[in-house]
Amino acid sequence: MPNTRPKYSVIADQLMRDIRDNRLTVGSLLPTENDLMRAFGVSRHTVRAAVQDLKSRGIVATRQGQGSKVISATGQAAFAERIQSIDQLIAFGQETRRELLSRETVEADEETARRFGCEPGRRLAKVRMLRRSLDGDRKIALVTLWMNTLLDEIVTELAHAQRSAAEIIRERFGLDTNVVEQAISADRLDEDTAAILDAEPGSPALIVTRAYFESRDDEPFLLARSIYTADALRVVSTFVAPGRA
């Protein structure tokens, strides 16, 4: 049999369904590992892998000697983006797998031109990619990149390698990313994007746009817009006053 889901994942899904449908209520205890072993006919190891999955999603909390407690029906976001430096901002791309959706040359429209700092009608390379989680097949985000057509050749490498666009551009073109401007907003998913992300049209989405600069005075050499389904991303940052920790 070719593509069977792992058992622990099937069990985790079943438990999540039970929680969502209130067969297991928030605040109550999960069946014990022994019960789950018998119920699903698997080893304790597999049961623990399933519970570990729920734990990492923030759905249950375990306590030695007591049991596993359901603490949330929905869980927290699977991805927490911790931005403390440019390097970490860039490294985030490595945790996901990219899939090339489309690749074309377009003329900059009014808004894109303004953000790029060029005149409308300038030819730009436009690339759309899908970001998936490394482990499962969860679809994380729809990413659209705009860049100078000269940089367009990085796309093939981008789709296959695990490195970020900024990293590849530095290596191939000697362009260093020193400044990144990031804007975060919320919106509804439109029909097309929802279809791509397997989500419901109109459901909430987090939109992160970034402009990459070599220096603050230059035009950006890369624009990126990522559309995340609401449950796929929480942007987490820690701000520390200088001197204190």
Partner DNA sequence: TTCGAAAATTTATACGGACAACCGAATGAA
Partner DNA sequence: TTCATTCGGTTGTCCGTATAAATTTTCGAA
Instruction: Annotate each residue in 103-122 with x if it binds a copy of itself (CB under 8 A) or - if it does not, as one string.
Output: -------xx--x--------
Q: What is the footprint of DNA within residues 25-44 (CB under 7 A)?
A: 30, 32-34, 41-44
Interface residue with a copy of itself, options 42, 83, 101, 168 (CB under 8 A): 83
Q: Which stretch binds a copy of itself (CB under 8 A): 7-15, 74-82, 100-108, 123-131?
A: 74-82
Identify which of 73, 98, 240 has the alpha carbon closest to the alpha carbon of residue 163: 98
DSSP secondary structure of 128-187? EEEEEESSS--EEEEEEEEEEGGGGGHHHHHHHSSS-HHHHHHHHH-----EEEEEEEEE
Smallest separation (angstroms) from DNA to the CB of 213 = 26
Contacts within 8 Å (CB) and 24+ apart, 2-9: 7/40, 7/42, 7/46, 8/42, 8/46, 8/47, 8/49, 8/50, 8/53, 9/50, 9/53, 9/136
- 183/96 Cα distance (integer angstroms): 21
CA distances from 174 to 142, 146, 162, 182, 228 (A): 27, 18, 19, 22, 30
Q: Three-state DSSP class for 116?
A: helix
Smallest separation (angstroms) from DNA to the CB of 71 = 13
174 binding DNA? (CB under 7 A): no
Q: Which stretch binds a copy of itself (CB under 8 A): 5-13, 28-36, 79-87, 98-106?
A: 79-87
Angle at 7 between CA 17 and CA 60, to 5 degrees: 45
Please identify, using beta-carbon distances, which residue of 15 and 233 lies nearer to a copy of itself.
233
Give which of DNA, a copy of itself, none residue 72 binds (C-beta under 5 to 8 Å, depending on kind): a copy of itself
Instruction: Annotate each residue in 134-173 with x if it binds DNA (CB under 7 A) or - if it does not, as one string.
Output: -x--------------------------------------
Interface residue with DNA, options 68, 112, 164, 229 (CB under 7 A): 68
Phi, psi of 226 (to 5 degrees): -115, 130
For residue 129, give the amino acid letter: M
Smallest separation (angstroms) from a copy of itself to the CB of 8 = 13
Smallest separation (angstroms) from a copy of itself to the CB of 245 = 6
48 binding DNA? (CB under 7 A): yes
Contact residues for a copy of itself, defined by CB under 8 A: 26-27, 56, 58, 61-63, 69, 71-72, 76-89, 91, 94-95, 110-111, 114, 134, 162, 176-188, 202-206, 215-216, 228, 230, 233-242, 244-245
